[in-house]
Amino acid sequence: MSNFTFLTEEQYFGSDKLEILEKRGTKAAITDFSILLGAYVSDYHIDNDNSLEGRTGYYWTKSDDGDNDARVVHDTGSSRTDYVSTRNGGARPTLPFSSISSIPTNGESGKRGRDGILEVEYGYYPQKAVSKDMQERLERAYRSGSILRTRNSYTTDSRKYDDYNEKFSEKQHEEYEYNGKRYVRIEVNSGKSQYALSNGESYRDGDNVWVEVQPVKWLIDEKEKIMLTDKLIFSGVQFNHTRDYHTRDFDKTDIKTFMDKYLSRDLEQSRGTITLGEQTEETERVPQRKSRLQKLNPDKIKTADRTRMTDTEIIQNWIEVGESVLLRGPSGIGKTERIKTLYPDLIYMKLTNNMFPEKVVGSVNLQTGQSIPPDFAKTAIMQEATEEEKKQIEENIQSIYDIADTVYERSKDSDKKVVIMLDELLNVKPAVQSLVYTLVLNRMVEIGKGLKLPDNVVVVATGNQKKYSSVAEDLAEPLEKRFDHILDMEPKVGEWITEYAIPQKIHPSVIGYMLSKYNNSGKSEDIQDIGYFYEEPDVGEEHLDRNGCKGRTNDPRGWTSISNTLYNFERNLEQGKYEGKDVEDIIQRSINSKLREEWSAEFFDFYNLPTLTPEEVTKGMGEGYTQADLPRDISERFAYMTALITADETQVESCREFIRKHCDPEYLEVFDIYWAGNDERKMEKISELQEMSLSLHTGKETKEYVVDGIAKYTDIGQMYSEYLTRDSKEEVRSEDNERS
């Protein structure tokens, strides 16, 4: 297809303005691919933008200004002029079509937004920069030669972004396949490293960035029979090399030539089964190289369907193979609690600067000369000893040395792990840290002839880095090297919710607010910081409130405290203890004492949104609801959904039906995963209810997503973002009008 063009200025701003632009506006989001090629990008955020970046760029029209330059649509959506020889203008191509049935798509019919605009997907093109983690994976695979190359490629201008006197010179970017998705490797050519991409990262000219190839979305103006790209999909190409341009000459411009010769080919490349390598007789006889892991791994599950381990899972994996672990991170994120949950019988020892050394290394009875082992070592051996051996130790503590050797040999065949927890290792002075050297390295206590602990003992330690604690100490290098693994942990939305908040019944408003805050942060979906709301503590603590006090940051432990406050307040309220008092003031002051000033009012507003209890929903299913009972906007829908998470198994069917009908099916999928958590019985219940409703409602095969969902969406914030960012304020208003 070679009839690409741009709209005229009149079609954007004049009497010929397209209907889709009347509804969606003239501002357009810009892809990471375009930014990397040198496009200008603003700091403006688009209210109705569900795009990757949330920033706009300026882009070309086909109209001239009467003075040898072109008219453009500014990043603010207004009209202006720019030199045709620049390379920082974005491109928003259009295509004509004769009828709705002739609109090219990627094999699926279009869908309509709530504003009535028809949207289709036509063609594939590089758009979104990958996450930092995926960038590292792809780069490793690329350098090792284990990544697979398809026969597709994409063309850009090889000239520097500011080489205005040089004509177009093509540069090919090969497409690669990894885990079922496709990517290109782009060398940054922008001169704008200060602009972060959608992954939150900034890059310098010359850096290599992996960009995912994705379907291109087009907006359809059915009246004028024109389709327009939703975003600015490329840049870096001069509108025209010579400053001599008039609208009548558009078909002769450099950018028109580029679109006809290269863009049309790139968009329309075959998107069927991936064909790898150059398709020649020679390469067809050469088998594809397999990486070491591909050869060793017996897993038959598709690579794209595999999931990443959570922090808890990977910690348990290390412990189960007998490897020592040091967990570092801010206080209150559950370092110690998650180990206690995994191993309830662990042997706990909190280290302090004023503790007696004998608690770690044991002591000697000065009168008898006998060695006395520390309590934790005795406990570890007693846990693995037989009843007869325990009796011998109780009768004579010195027999523990011989019994320890026997227990050590016997424990080599044990599948059980005995965990010794050294809590606050980084918060004690080096002199105290040195006491555990031999314990960490050899699982031995140096008292007497040396007390060997069972072979199935694993040492786990915790502590805070200096940036999180004013009393933290650097770990001496010899001790640091004695740990098999050191994991620097951060608070993670999904893990906290699935592994702690749901099982511990944290107040639904806390979890609801947490997810809504995550979703509305404007950050990349890879940002998982729940404790500090995307601020390191040294940054967050710089904020002073109106009283000159440091701004509060809140970690998961703090949110647990807020949850307890809400439950206590509601219990007192229901019991009539606040009769005649301003209850809003009571709870607001309680929240203010725990949250930073700028968050407390926002959290109170979310907490106080109208919702229904599971009891009210169950009762109302037979009686119906008034309009006042139903959620009105995105925040209320989410608040309703999270409030119903407390439903028991007799109420969940009614609650699911309410959410499906009044909050939309997208919220139902979140509810199902959220309500089931990691409880197998609840997963089975949800699966049964899904199968029952499968033929009654959407027809979508949903019966597998609960079991898969917990693994796939360990980061529930990411899942919530994927579903709910489809809504915009305008769409919500439109839907509310329909309901009314």
pLDDT at 697: 52
Of the listed ranges 26-40, 117-131, 686-700, the one predicted with least confidence: 686-700
In the chain, what percentage of residues exceed pLDDT 90? Answer: 42
Cβ-based neighbour number of residue 178 at 10 Å: 20
Question: What pLDDT does 17 receive?
Answer: 94
Asked whether the predicted pLDDT for residue 47 surpasses 60, the reply is no
Look at residue 738 in the predicted model and tell me its pLDDT: 42
**CA 307/CA 301 separation, integer angstroms:** 10
Query: Residue 232: its pLDDT value, please?
Result: 96
Quote the CA–CA distance of 629 and 676 in Å, as a whole number.
26
List, in sequence order, every residue forming a beta bridge with 234; answer none if it has no partner.
Answer: 91
| Number of neighbours of residue 406 by Cβ within 10 angstroms | 14
Residue 115 scores a pLDDT above 80: yes
Contact between 434 and 479 (Cβ < 8 Å): yes
C-beta of residue 725 within 8 angstroms of C-beta of residue 46: no
Pick from 697, 702, 643, 701: nearest CA to 675 = 643
How does residue 304 score in pLDDT terms, banded at 50, 70 and 90?
Answer: low
Cβ atoms of residues 254 and 263 within 8 Å: no
Which pLDDT value is given to residue 151?
85
pLDDT at 242 over 90: no
DSSP 38-73: T----S---TT--SSS--B--EEEEEE-SSSSEEEE
Mean pLDDT to the nearest integer, 624-645 = 80
First to last CA, the chain: 44
Q: Which long-range contacts (CB under 8 A, 24 or more apart) does 560-565 make?
A: 560/504, 560/506, 561/594, 562/507, 562/510, 562/591, 562/594, 562/595, 562/603, 563/506, 563/507, 563/510, 565/590, 565/591, 565/594
Residue type, 730: E
Range 81-107 average pLDDT: 88
Q: Does residue 370 surpass a pLDDT of 50?
A: yes
Q: Does 541 have pLDDT greater than 60?
A: no
Q: Whole-angstrom Cα distance, residue 460 to residue 325?
A: 5
Largest CA distance in the chain: 108
Residue 339 half-sphere exposure toward CB, CA atoms < 13 A: 26
Domains of the chain are: 9-267 (no CATH), 313-488 (3.40.50.300), 500-739 (no CATH)
Which range among 39-53, 148-162, 380-394, 626-640 shows the weakest confidence by mean pLDDT? 39-53
Indicate whether 98 pLDDT > 90. Answer: no
| pLDDT at position 104 | 83
Instruction: Give the pLDDT of residue 560.
Output: 87
Which residue stretches of 285-373 are H helix? Answer: 292-296, 311-320, 335-342, 358-361
The confidence score (pLDDT) of residue 160 equals 87
Q: Are 353 and 432 in contact (CB under 8 A)?
A: yes
Secondary structure of 578-596 in HEC code, one letter for each residue? CCCCCHHHHHHHHHHCCCC
**What's the pLDDT score for residue 544?**
53
